[in-house]
Amino acid sequence: MVCRGRVTKMKRAMNINIKRGGDDYFLNRLFSYLTSELEVEIKEITQLRGNVYLVETVERHFILKGYKDLRKLKIQEAFVSSLRKTGFDHSYRFYNQNKDPLHFHGSYYGCIEYIDHNEMRFDYGVQADREKGVELLNRFHDHTSVLVPSYAGMLPKTDLARKWRHRKTEFAKNLSGVNFYVKKAIIEEVLEWADFSLGNFVRLKSELETGLPVILHGDVAHHNFLRSKEGKLHLIDFDLISSGSRGYDMLQYANRILPYLDWQFESLEKISYLNKWLDSDAFLYGLLYPADILREWNRLLRNRNQTHPYSLAPIVEMTVGQFQQRKQFQEEVKSRLND
């Protein structure tokens, strides 16, 4: 697919087929712009989220993703290309990254290879998927370790402590909104967990930084693991890449899967590539930080979605429904730290 150039034949307006999911006027103009710039015949555009679209052409599908900053687009294109050259083929490609980017309505757009989904979606609730996910993440780190020098001036160094401080500060400003839905005593204890974890993590985080640095993924949410139609697992979306110890990605991975392990520490010990980090006090203190609770409440209130039951209910369940399990987990980890 060519991602810039004049079309070789006229496209008729009657061919436009736009699904719901975005502003029709914007999508119609985007359709017209792409039709004038791409040497493919577009059949359909579907907004997936934000500035990300699925584009169906006569020959294939591709993902169209917009970036406000041209530099960010160029870094993404370069990184994905570099990653593939290391031999890591568990991700997508950008099309024609050496051409001038598409520029529309203040955003720069990249054309990304579409990976058709398997009916069996990746699921942190499935033990085999949790194990395959962390194995793929570890392989990703193995490959990105050789890229660190090349991207030293392009990527930030990870600073998890700073990120957590910012998240806690925002949460503190949102307390009145949170306390409207959750008992004050529960929120006070959650904040105690955050203070205890963060203070000790800052003191010991150098423990995690002794090995060779890698390029970190930075967002190991389940939706960034994609199983192709053929059954091959892929890692996608590198918007938050940074450099640092692989322990930071592993810590985030552990925090992501703990709710699916019913907050059982011994279940973490059984997972390869994670269990070796459990010998680090810094890693254990990091496990105590209620990252998901603070993140999701901040997001909910920032977007003013607290009046929407479908948005509110999962976060209340995360905070209240899992509270006793989390509290027991806190006590178990603290006992291990005191041994």
What pLDDT, on the 0 to 100 scale, is given for residue 166?
A: 97
Higher-confidence residue of 2 and 331: namely 331
* Burial (CB count <10 Å: 0-12, 13-18, 19+), residue 178: buried
114, 63 contact by CB (below 8 A): yes
Q: What is the pLDDT of residue 11?
A: 39
* Mean per-residue pLDDT, 2-23: 46
d(CA 222, CA 228): 14
H/E element, 54: strand 52-57
pLDDT over 80 at 1, yes or no? no
pLDDT value, residue 9: 35
CB-count burial class (<10 Å; 0-12, 13-18, 19+) for 79:
buried
Q: What is the pLDDT of residue 97?
A: 57
Per residue in 162-212, pLDDT (tens digit) is: 999 999 999 999 999 999 999 999 999 999 999 999 999 999 999 999 889
- Is residue 208 within 8 Å of residue 278, measured between CB atoms? no
Determine the residue type at 297. W
Exposed, middle or buried, 40 (CB in 10 Å: 0-12/13-18/19+)?
buried
Q: Is 3 exposed, middle or buried (0-12, 13-18, 19+ CB in 10 A)?
A: buried
Contact 238, 217 (CB under 8 A): yes
Q: Report the CATH fold assignment for 127-338.
A: Aminoglycoside 3'-phosphotransferase; Chain: A, domain 2 (3.90.1200)
pLDDT at 117: 94
pLDDT band, residue 130 (cuts 50/70/90): very high
pLDDT at 287 over 50: yes
Fold of the domain spanning 13-113: Phosphorylase Kinase; domain 1 (3.30.200)
pLDDT tens digit sequence for 24-80 = 889 999 999 999 999 889 999 999 999 999 999 999 999 999 999 999 999 999 999
Say whether 127-338 and 13-113 share the same fold: no
Domain regions of the chain by residue span: 13-113, 127-338
* Weakest mean pLDDT among 93-107, 146-160, 215-229, 257-271: 93-107
